[in-house]
Homo-oligomer: A and B are copies of this chain.
Amino acid sequence: MFHKLITKQLNPPRFLLLIFLLFIFIGTCLLMLPFATTEPVTLLDAFFTATSAMTVTGLIVVDTGTAYTLFGQAVILVLIHFGGLGIMSFAVFIFLLSGRKLGFKEHVLITQSLNQNSIGGIIILAKKILIFSLSVEAVTFALLSMVWVPAFGWKDGLYASFFHAISAFNNAGFSIWSDSLSRSVGDPIVTLIITTSFILGGIGFTVIFDIWKKKRFKDFSLHTKLMIVGTVLINVIAFSFVFWLEFYNTNTIGDFTIADKVKAAYFQSVTPRTAGFNTVDIGALNHSTQFFMIILMFIGAGSASTGGGIKLTTFLAILFSVSSFVKRKEDIEVFRRAITDATVVRSLAITVIGISFIFVGIFILDITEDAPFLKIVFETVSAFGTVGLSMGLTGDLTWIGKIIISMIMIIGKVGPLTLAFSIATQAKIHIRYAREDILTG
């Protein structure tokens, strides 16, 4: 099935992009069916919703809970699952089910999709990913039910738990409630379950399996060590910032008890990378907090995870590189290992291409939307990081704005580098020129 499609014109990155667009197209068609919506939605709004679900972003132009029927919401959940786990992990299962062996080219496709360097054991990995994902979702569902069934009754409680369990683990940010999870802002159990679920989904499967297999920190791979320490550090820093910046803001947590302040600050500090749920009004936060969140949204979650952004290790690789340069070290040393120059250049490429797309987006929205600059920057970076948080611009977007934000969600999910590779043609000539330095700075 797949290998016939893959010709020289259709290189792996281009193929990935195409299959992504295909799923969004199917999703749009399904959401346009009369029994998918309670009131007619426009084609553009259906496309926006399908794109937001498939890219696990969570930005919404119509209210998920009221505009879509149970069928419509089911379509959204299926798209979230495909998008969150990566289409290719499903592709592997299709192959496995059909009993066929994987060719080399399919292998390349799948390794690229899962962001793995080696193709060995990729099928085992895909199996593990599905088992792990379904397990976390099941546990999240069960635990949420224990809170929400007593609160909303069996039917509504179970459904809300089911929907949010899937949305949380896949870092989708979709909610059936128009104010996201604001009703649970003071609930320690919901806060803990939801955040743990999306952090587990967002830290990266390779990290989870590495921890599972090796148990002791010193045996972990450099990537796992970086992700663990980096995640803890960035979350502690983010919490401190949000907690103190919002402490006296009566529009958010200013009037809360200290305990509720802690819970709300914690939730809002971990959700920008890149869960997208919120328990307080994002538009009511201080400008400084919103600006800080923009940086967190850009950084994003872990590689090979359900989350988006340039990824935490990409960000760290650049920081380490700069730090080594300033300290005039020969190697970029982290945890008694040296990061290669290739990693740094790759990280630089991801970051620069990402920023370029974001800047083009902001620039166009500055022309088409009648909104403050901060709102536009927040919305654009949220789309790029597939975060789904908004200062309230999404609902007011013009049709051009909706198309731009949709495109940025796709770019953010497919990955700026994958997209760049899919457009670029590989260099053929291999003349080596003399080296010459230029002045910089």
A353 to B326, CA, bound (A): 10
Which residues of chain A from 309 to 367 have a CB within 8 Å of any chain B CB?
310-311, 313-314, 317-319, 321-322, 325-331, 333, 336-350, 352-353, 359, 362-363, 366-367
Which residues of chain A from 394 to 441 have a CB within 8 Å of any chain B CB?
415-417, 420-421, 424-427, 430, 432-441
CB nearest to A325 among chain B residues: B349
**Copies of this subunit:** 2
B363 contacts A291, C-beta separation under 8 Å: yes
> Hey, what's the 0/1 contact readout for A245-262 against B, CB within 8 Å counting as 1?
100000000000000000
The answer to the question of A374 belonging to the interface, with a C-beta cut-off of 8 Å to chain B, is yes
Contacts A438-B339, A438-B343 given; indicate if A352 touches B322 (C-beta within 8 A).
yes
A303 contacts B439, C-beta separation under 8 Å: yes
A348 contacts B322, C-beta separation under 8 Å: yes
A318 contacts B117, C-beta separation under 8 Å: no
> Hey, what's the 0/1 contact readout for A220-252 against B, CB within 8 Å counting as 1?
011100100000000000000000010000000
Contacts A318-B352, A347-B440 given; indicate if A286 touches B223 (C-beta within 8 A).
no
The answer to the question of A110 belonging to the interface, with a C-beta cut-off of 8 Å to chain B, is no
A337 contacts B373, C-beta separation under 8 Å: no
Which of A330, A372, A430, A437 lies at the interface centre, i.e. has the most chain B CB atoms within 10 A of its CB? A437
A440 contacts B313, C-beta separation under 8 Å: yes
Which of A325, A366, A416 lies at the interface centre, i.e. has the most chain B CB atoms within 10 A of its CB? A325
B residues in contact with A367, CB < 8 Å: 245, 286-288
The answer to the question of A204 belonging to the interface, with a C-beta cut-off of 8 Å to chain B, is yes
The answer to the question of A79 belonging to the interface, with a C-beta cut-off of 8 Å to chain B, is no
The answer to the question of A304 belonging to the interface, with a C-beta cut-off of 8 Å to chain B, is yes
> Hey, what's the 0/1 contact readout for A110-142 against B, CB within 8 Å counting as 1?
000001010000000000000000000000000
Partner of A436, one of B222, B295, B415, B441: B222
Q: How far is the CB of A227 from chain B (nearest CB, A)?
A: 9
A326 contacts B421, C-beta separation under 8 Å: yes
Partner of A226, one of B329, B353, B438: B438
The answer to the question of A206 belonging to the interface, with a C-beta cut-off of 8 Å to chain B, is yes
The answer to the question of A168 belonging to the interface, with a C-beta cut-off of 8 Å to chain B, is no
B338 contacts A437, C-beta separation under 8 Å: no
> Hey, what's the 0/1 contact readout for A192-221 against B, CB within 8 Å counting as 1?
000000000000101000000000000001
The answer to the question of A23 belonging to the interface, with a C-beta cut-off of 8 Å to chain B, is no
Which residues of chain A from 76 to 132 have a CB within 8 Å of any chain B CB?
115, 117
> Hey, what's the 0/1 contact readout for A296-312 against B, CB within 8 Å counting as 1?
00000011100000110
B223 contacts A439, C-beta separation under 8 Å: yes
Which of A117, A223, A322 lies at the interface centre, i.e. has the most chain B CB atoms within 10 A of its CB? A322
B residues in contact with A292, CB < 8 Å: 363
B residues in contact with A353, CB < 8 Å: 322, 326
Partner of A288, one of B302, B344, B363, B415: B363
The answer to the question of A56 belonging to the interface, with a C-beta cut-off of 8 Å to chain B, is no
A329 to B426, CA, bound (A): 8
A417 contacts B432, C-beta separation under 8 Å: no
A246 to B138, CA, bound (A): 56
A333 to B340, CA, bound (A): 21
The answer to the question of A54 belonging to the interface, with a C-beta cut-off of 8 Å to chain B, is no
B residues in contact with A245, CB < 8 Å: 367
A425 to B327, CA, bound (A): 6
B327 contacts A424, C-beta separation under 8 Å: yes
A226 to B439, CA, bound (A): 10
B residues in contact with A420, CB < 8 Å: 326
Partner of A331, one of B346, B416, B432: B432
A336 to B350, CA, bound (A): 26
The answer to the question of A377 belonging to the interface, with a C-beta cut-off of 8 Å to chain B, is yes
A436 to B420, CA, bound (A): 25
Q: How far is the CB of A345 from chain B (nearest CB, A)?
A: 5
A441 contacts B350, C-beta separation under 8 Å: yes
B residues in contact with A222, CB < 8 Å: 436-438
B437 contacts A343, C-beta separation under 8 Å: yes
A329 to B432, CA, bound (A): 10
A440 contacts B366, C-beta separation under 8 Å: no
